[in-house]
A and B are shown apart, each in its own frame.
Chain A
Amino acid sequence: MPSVILLLILPLFGAVLCALLPARHADKCAIGATGGMLLSLVWLLLARPGGNWQSLPLTWRWLQGSFREGLFGFLLDPLALLLLLVVVVLGFLVVLYATAYLGAGNREHADVTGKSRHHAWLLLFITAMIGVALSPNLLQLYLFWEMTTLCSWALISHYRNPESLRAGFKALLMTFSGGLFFALGLVLLYVHTGSFAFDAHSDLAPRMRLWVFLSFAVAAWAKSAQFPFFTWLPDAMAAPTTVSMYLHAAAMVKAGVFLMVRLALANPGLPWTAGLVVAVLAVVTMLVALWLFFFQDDLKKLLAYSTIAHLSYVFLGVGVAIMGSRLGAYAGAMHIMNHSVGKGLLFLSVGVLSYTAGTRRISELAGVARHSPLAAIAFMVGMLAILGVPPFSGFWSKFYLMVAALKLGGAAGWLLLIPFALEIAVAFAWFLHIGHKVFFGPASGHAAKAGALPGVMAAALIILMLLTLLAPWAAMQLMGAMGL
């Protein structure tokens, strides 16, 4: 238990310190806080009786009152641990990376003043995400949920130029409007069942169940940038790469899909129609994002659209699970982790291009591999992880998803599988094309003049590359403990 509290408090403490202390201490505070957080996670994992995950879930209630499950507290089951691992491990890596990335050496955005502001908001965001992961009910989840929205606004607007201010405001407006539906769902749920518990949907009348679930789904669609609420995410790429990687690929956008997986696993009796809506919208999002791949010249925007498509994989899994093939929800949960490491790696290697070559435009880059081999290898590994080539992470959950869709049987299964398979194939073709174009061949001017890569950034890349191999194993273990 102390380790859990430490986990929540350390980044918050770090955030306060970063904000108050002079800028020259920012890096130390941030590294110290996230390092401590990482250690307390290790402690948490080791302190499990017998060290196995079967003894989860751990619950701790606070302000119990008349509530069945308590108003606040912690729930640490394998699903929570899955998100927690992503948030904590990637949080540490991104802070490590940011200590070098945000600085005078950055050729795209030489930034000397904003470091402590960046670190403070980022650490606050990590706190919020840990809160989301550990929430035992929907109410507490909602509070931390909106906290992440706020941090996202501040971090997207980090550079304070008109473009990023606008993007930050847009993201805030859209995710917050979606969040209103979360509040609506909460109110409806509480009025009808007197509970905020994840599994309270089962106590609702079937008609009501659909509407309550769909209002949570709207919130999740907005948070996870699904059609028709996806337009804020590509604009949010105005943020520093560290923020794009952590908030808009690895952690914050995962909150929405995490909520969906939670609800789908906790409530076996959700209506079939709800599943169909979620799954069809997922497929639509996938195809829209796929179509927009072809028009991107900014590597980060391309990755943003790919993130949108991959989040819809999770939605597809959830939809399929509600429609009757429960494997889908587990597959979606695994994809949360597998996608985070792969996409995180991609973003960080694009960050390397920004840092060393000063551009991330596809048309200005070629032959990067010759002068920045590590960035090239990292990008290729991340790409293969995203595209689903074994042994890297994406393959495993994608295969589960295909199995889940086909297990559904009948026309629905095929109608979901075919666009999914199409997306896999075309995304494969396009990303491989871009990978070849940017990293191989004769070097372009920008690539040939690339500067040196700081050691901490290289270290973050290497650790993430290893994680693309380890993540699927951990995800499978966790889901096995969750009852897969």
Chain B
Amino acid sequence: MNAFFSAQGCYLAGALLALLVGGKRKAVGWVAFGAAAFGTLFILTAVLGVFREGPVSSGLPILQVPGLGAALIYQIDYLSALFLAIIAVVSLLVTLYAQRFMQIAHYRAGSLRYFYSILLFFFAAVLNVVVVADLFFFFVFWEIMTLTSYLMVIFRQEERVRLRAGYKYFLITHIATIFLFIGGILLYRLSGSFSFSFLKMAMAEMQQSQPGLLHFVLGCFFLGFATKAGILPMGDWLPDAYPAAPAPASAAFAGSMTKLGIYGLVRVFCGLLPLSSHTQIWGLIIALFGAGSILVGTMTALVQEDAKRLLSFHVIGQMGYMFLAIGTGLYFLRTQPVIGMIGLGAGIFHLINHVSYKSCLFFNAGAVFYKTGTRDINKVGGLARVLPVTAATAIIASLSIAGIPPFSGFASKWLIYQAALRGGFSVPVFIILGLIAIFISAVTLASFVKFFGALFFGKYEDNGSKARVGDVPAAMRLPQIILAALCILFGLLPQLPLGWVYRSIAYLFPPGSMPAAASIYGGGLLNGLSLNVAGSTAAWNALLLTVIFGLCALLAWGLFRAGGARVRSVETWYCGEEMSDRDTRYRAHGFYLPFKQIFRLRIGRYERPGIYPTITWPKRLFRKEPALNRAIDLDRWLYQPLARSAVRLMRRFSATHSGVPHLYLLWLAAGAALALIILYSFSGGK
């Protein structure tokens, strides 16, 4: 626990120090990196401690909120530890990358202190979110995380488009958070405390006494977490907000923030909710939303031409995979725990993989931007020659996200397919969901063929961009290399991360109630995955197959060499026409034209390409003053007439003040008589 607090101190100290160091581009970057490095070191110590010696808790509450039964208590169990490790690694790589990336002239030197400070505050908040054991403080840190990430989205506040993206993001997530609040408070009404352990009991009680209300509570939680995770339609903020933030921040979002939606979902739906019909119903709903996001998100990604926007839509699609896996897992947890555990494990494993390849891809896009100053993939090409390391890591990450064996994306997707299809034997709807997942995997590949092909293949042309010579600096290359290496490692040895994943999930359930790890993922690090569900086995041994394929490739190369064929290198022949390379290059825009023509959204006269609707808000809210304004303008119809008639009354009264003494005497007499009558009537005639 102390290690966690030390890490916390590192991030916060770094944030304040960054503010003080100020406008020196290099120094402030190193301060942030130093803070993150020390923080990561401490976090990893804490994580190792937890995995070795079991969960730890801060014990006594650090802060108490009077009257609410909320207290700041930290608890690191295996699930928290897993997320801590992910966030820590991401924070290290992001700050390392940002150190060079943020030096480009695109960002004002004076504003960098704010960027790094916010970035470190953001990581501190994210770290807190995954370790608090109290829903109220979970909300507090959750909102601080939202706030800091919003500030990063609008970091270049001079540009209206970024402001719009930040506005949409903050507003949508804030409304989702209000739903989270309501769900949490409804539970609190039963438990009298916000501590997770009490809420767990409250959920069990509510499941018995008010099942309908529990559905509402779960709906609120689902809405809150799915919005943060970018699940459609609530995740509409995501494709705007991600591209608006600087590349390191996008990578940080992809690597930590959206993933916390999954964390919250698992924490609430697995950790708090008892296994019951509720888990099944919500499992199905989560899986359906997941499949919808996979379909719409990825299909829309196919037609994007802004590198980061393309990646953002893939975030939505990939989050869909996780939701599908976790939903499937939840659904079967009660009836067929083996499939349930496969699904849950696949979801979290896919999350780990997604962090590695998607952060890597955002780093790649950032490297391209660093080099060429644009994110439009139509405008660049042939960068493989200029950015060899970026190209190599990009292809590894692309193949991984597309689910090509033996990269990591395949290993987790394979588990997702298994869970969905095997579950489909008993509940056929999951077969459809599984098929969607498999089909979209191909669409993902198509999309990344475009992404990679347009950016890195073809002839390099400078087209007047401010391209610097040589690959991006080492501080930017290293994070990409590390992440790409993780993509390969987790693909070849999926048992390694799955071991941690299994422990983190199984701990949420009563000990012994879940099938053992070996029966789910197979034993031994080198044996590959072998799922054994109801007697039928599905095995996948990446290591073995890679060796075999490697031998095959070697053989092919050997044959090629043995044949001794000559390779000619000539200019491209354009049927005799004289054309420049620029005219003949196959641009990103030209990809998948038939697809774009088939999928159009038509509603009446409204028509736009793609299946993703964009809402444009009216510029002005009200053309003319609405009638309601006149109705609530109390001054106009109540107070001013009242005041006027009062003035009139006074005028009339002042007319009695005529200056004639006789009249005054008359008033006096009349008044005295009136007073006498009143007094007489009050005294009751006595």
Contact = CB atoms under 8 A, between A and B. Distances in A.
A479 B182 contact: no
Contacts of B182: 402, 406, 417, 421
Contact of A476 (B66, B158, B166, B186): B66
Contact of B634 (A231, A403, A433, A436): A231
Interface string A461-484: 000000000000000110110001
A291 interface: yes
A400 B147 contact: no
Contacts of B475: none
A428 B65 contact: no
Contacts of A295: 622, 625, 629
A288 B158 contact: no
A442 interface: yes
B66 A484 contact: yes
Interface stretch (A67-75, A118-126, A184-192, A389-397): A389-397
A391 B635 CA distance: 39
A294 interface: yes
A432 B171 contact: yes
A89 to B, nearest CB: 22
A428 B173 CA distance: 11
A265 to B, nearest CB: 13
A384 B67 CA distance: 24
Interface string B630-653: 001111001100010000000000
A440 B111 CA distance: 14
A391 B140 contact: yes
A272 interface: no
Given A330-B67, A403-B68, A436-B163, A384 B147 contact: yes
B406 to A, nearest CB: 45
Contacts of A208: none
A441 interface: yes
Q: Which interface residue of B67, B182, B622, B643 has the most chain A CB atoms within 10 A?
A: B67
B215 to A, nearest CB: 16
B158 A440 contact: yes
A440 B140 CA distance: 26
Interface residues of A, number: 46
Interface string B56-71: 0000000001111000
Given A330-B67, A479-B67, A428 B181 contact: no
Contact of B147 (A230, A231, A389, A421): A389
A429 B186 CA distance: 25
A395 B143 contact: yes
Interface residues of B, number: 42
A369 interface: yes
A303 to B, nearest CB: 19
B644 to A, nearest CB: 13
A330 B65 CA distance: 13
A442 B144 contact: no
Contacts of B323: none
B104 interface: no
A327 B67 contact: yes
A370 interface: yes
A477 B64 CA distance: 10
A262 interface: no
A425 B175 contact: yes
Contacts of A361: none
B394 to A, nearest CB: 34
Interface in B110-157: 136, 139-140, 143-144, 146-147, 154, 157
Given A399-B181, A402-B182, A441 B160 contact: yes
A389 B171 CA distance: 12
Contacts of B639: 174, 231
A336 B307 CA distance: 49
A231 to B, nearest CB: 5
Contacts of A294: 621-622
A254 B570 CA distance: 84
B185 A403 contact: yes
A436 B158 CA distance: 10
Contacts of B143: 389-390, 395
Nearest to A421: B178
Contacts, number: 97
A154 B339 CA distance: 76
Contacts of B166: 436
A400 B65 CA distance: 10
Contacts of B379: none
Nearest to B136: A399
A440 B163 contact: yes
B174 A428 contact: yes
A182 to B, nearest CB: 20
B188 interface: yes
A440 B244 CA distance: 15
B446 to A, nearest CB: 38
A104 interface: no
Nearest to B646: A173
B189 interface: yes
Nearest to B164: A436
B11 interface: no
Contacts of B625: 295
Contact of A403 (B158, B188, B628, B633): B188
A291 B622 contact: no
A425 B158 contact: no
Contact of B167 (A291, A399, A436): A436
A288 B609 CA distance: 41
A406 B186 contact: yes
A193 B178 CA distance: 45
Contact of A291 (B66, B628, B638): B628
A359 B81 CA distance: 53
B74 interface: no
Nearest to B151: A380
A231 B171 contact: no
Contacts of A173: 643
A441 B622 contact: no
B189 A409 contact: yes
B126 to A, nearest CB: 14
A20 interface: no
Interface string A403-446: 10011010000000100010011001100110010011110000
Interface in A299-358: 327, 330
B68 A400 contact: yes
Contacts of B160: 441
Interface string B174-196: 11001001100110110000000
Nearest to A413: B189
Interface string B434-468: 00000000000000000000000000000000000
A396 B66 CA distance: 11
A367 interface: yes
Interface string A347-390: 00000000000000000000101100000000000001000011
Given A390-B143, A402-B182, A407 B67 contact: no
A21 B593 CA distance: 83
A228 interface: yes
Given A295-B629, A391-B140, A429 B163 contact: no
B189 A406 contact: yes
B332 interface: no
B170 interface: yes
A1 interface: no
Contacts of B140: 390-391, 395
A108 to B, nearest CB: 25
Q: Which 8 A-B pairs have the closest CB atoms?
A: A480-B66, A484-B67, A440-B157, A390-B140, A390-B143, A406-B185, A231-B635, A484-B66
25 contacts: A231-B635, A288-B632, A291-B628, A292-B632, A295-B622, A295-B625, A389-B146, A390-B139, A390-B144, A390-B147, A395-B140, A399-B139, A402-B181, A402-B185, A406-B182, A406-B185, A406-B186, A406-B189, A425-B175, A429-B171, A432-B167, A436-B166, A439-B157, A480-B67, A484-B67
Given A390-B147, A441-B157, 10 more contacts: A294-B622, A295-B625, A389-B147, A417-B182, A425-B175, A429-B171, A432-B170, A440-B154, A440-B157, A476-B66
